[in-house]
Amino acid sequence: MTALGAGGHRYVAVAILVLLSMAPATSGAGAQTRAEAADPTVLITGANRGIGLELAREYAAAGWHVIGTARKPDEATELKALGAEVEQLDVTDQGSVDRLAADLRGRPIDILINNAGIQLLMWKLGEVDIDKYNRTLAVNTVGPVRVTLALLPNLRAGDRKLIVNMTSDISSIANNTSGGFYGYRESKAALNMFTRSLAAELGPEGFICIVLHPGWVKTDMGGPKAPITVQESVHGILKVVDGLSPDDNGTFLTYAGERMAW
């Protein structure tokens, strides 16, 4: 027995534990800061501009820990300025998706928003270019599948268990009477079907998986003639996502909370 005695040892042990808990949070790949541990976490793909950037801004302002992905993180200055954790991600590159998953291993994610997307306009059959068609499917359909599979362990560890796949109203097969938008419509319709399957398989684990139409929005993709601003769209999206209940699992919703026909 040392001079401290058994009780003294207990005090030293408690003091060491308290000091350890007060030590600065670590940083680096895979490490988690205390803020990240305490705050709910949302991961948004394609968060360097457009709807993704505004989602990052509003979630950060609401106190969420935001992991925003960008193909070129060095150029994602607005995203970094929000205090978001910026991760490199090209959804068409399996190596990039694997690196993201490795960086985030062991970290719970509450909401995944598969937002990254492209629209390569092909209006008429004569304009359909198979390379553009394949690229559209690679980004808009296969991309969210890759990301969801890679981050499923993180989502299973999260409290909210929400997967939000950004679709478009023009993916609705029921509402397609005009044609056009070759490749884009199909890519999002396939994403819708993937989401229904996710909902069926993951619903029993407490997941809510939806596809969401953000409206026709003034972004690089939506163009200047779009009737709604990114702020209007994202205010609506946050409200819809915040109000999701298990009954919404497997639904196709708009930013205004309306259900859309498949």
For the bound state, the minimum distance from the C-beta of residue 79 to ligand NAP, rounded and expressed in Å, comes to: 9
Instruction: State CA 4 to chain mean position distance.
Output: 54
Alpha carbon distance 248, 1 (integer Å): 63
DSSP string, 57-84: HHHHHTT-EEEEEESSGGG-HHHHHTTP
3-state helix, strand, coil in the chain (%, to 5): 50, 15, 40
Nearest Cα residue to 93 out of 143, 29, 153, 43: 143
CB nearer to ligand NAP: pick between 71 and 132? 71
Tokens 């909401």 belong to 111
Instruction: State CA 222 to chain mean position distance.
Output: 20
Alpha carbon distance 85, 148 (integer Å): 19
CB nearer to ligand NAP: pick between 160 and 213? 213
For the bound state, the minimum distance from the C-beta of residue 261 to ligand NAP, rounded and expressed in Å, comes to: 16
CB nearer to ligand NAP: pick between 73 and 203? 73
Active-site residue identified among 11, 133, 182, 184: 184
For the bound state, the minimum distance from the C-beta of residue 115 to ligand NAP, rounded and expressed in Å, comes to: 5
For the bound state, the minimum distance from the C-beta of residue 218 to ligand NAP, rounded and expressed in Å, comes to: 8
CB nearer to ligand NAP: pick between 1 and 51? 51
Enumerate binding residues for ligand NAP (CB under 6 A): 45-46, 48-52, 71-72, 89-92, 115-119, 139, 166, 168, 213-214, 216-217, 219-222, 226
Catalytic residue check, 182 = no
Q: Hey, which residues are catalytic here?
A: 184
